[in-house]
Amino acid sequence: MQRLKKLLLLLKDSCRDNSFLIAIEQVEGIVSKILSLVMIAVILVAMFDLIIVLSKQLLIEPVGFFNESLFEIFGLFLNVLIALEILENITAYLRKHVVQVELVIVTSLIAVARKIIILNLEKTEGIEIIGLALAILSLSISYWLIRRTAPRNNH
């Protein structure tokens, strides 16, 4: 019975606001670190994929000419860049414990730009192009507003 009382007191203490917030921060830190490791693995796999595609394109007949669409290769490059930006978002969160909206918007702009670069206009309907245009416009306005209102660092 004494052990049960001690356990209940320990549980009660751990549910106090300060203790609970500390536990939440620890869980956030662990999750962020795991996400960082997973994102590093994704980046390495994307780089490997890019190297394989480039090697095949450069070594297959005719030598030196890209048989597949150059846009596919650009898409692979941008995949790596997007993954690096996401890793930057995670590490920025680990450093400051805040989601940096500017980084998220830049990452989103790169992702939409990637979609536009690899877009096959023959298979794309007008509504999709309008949607992409609206996404670029809104993200650009958001980025401009954040840059305009954000305090400047004088480093």
In whole angstroms, give the CA distance from residue 52 to residue 49: 5
pLDDT (0 to 100) of residue 66: 60
Please provide the size of the chain in residues. Answer: 155
* Token representation of residue 18: 């300060």
**Per-residue pLDDT at 97 exceeds 70:** yes
Tell me whether residue 145 is in a domain. yes
Tell me whether residue 129 is in a domain. yes
pLDDT (0 to 100) of residue 155: 46
pLDDT (0 to 100) of residue 151: 73
Tell me whether residue 137 is in a domain. yes
For the stretch 43-93, pLDDT in tens is 999 999 888 888 877 777 565 566 556 777 888 888 888 899 888 888 888
Q: Which residue has the higher pLDDT, 63 or 9?
A: 9
In whole angstroms, give the CA distance from residue 142 to residue 67: 39
Radius of gyration of the chain (CA): 23
CA separation, residue 91 to residues 47, 66, 96, 106, 147 (Å): 20, 36, 9, 15, 21
> How many domains would you assign to the chain?
1
Domain that holds residue 9: 2-149
pLDDT (0 to 100) of residue 40: 94
Tell me whether residue 79 is in a domain. yes
Q: Which residue has the higher pLDDT, 98 or 128?
A: 128
Q: Which residue has the higher pLDDT, 102 or 6?
A: 102
Number of H helices, E strands in the chain: 5, 0
Tell me whether residue 155 is in a domain. no
For the stretch 28-48, pLDDT in tens is 889 888 999 999 999 999 999
Q: What is the pTM of this model?
A: 0.66
Q: How far apart are the first and last CA of the chain?
A: 61
**Per-residue pLDDT at 116 exceeds 60:** yes
Percentage of residues in the chain having pLDDT higher than 70: 87
Tell me whether residue 71 is in a domain. yes
Tell me whether residue 154 is in a domain. no
Average pLDDT for 113-118: 84
**Virtual torsion, Cα 60, 63, 68, 70, nearest 10 deg:** 140
Average pLDDT, the chain: 82
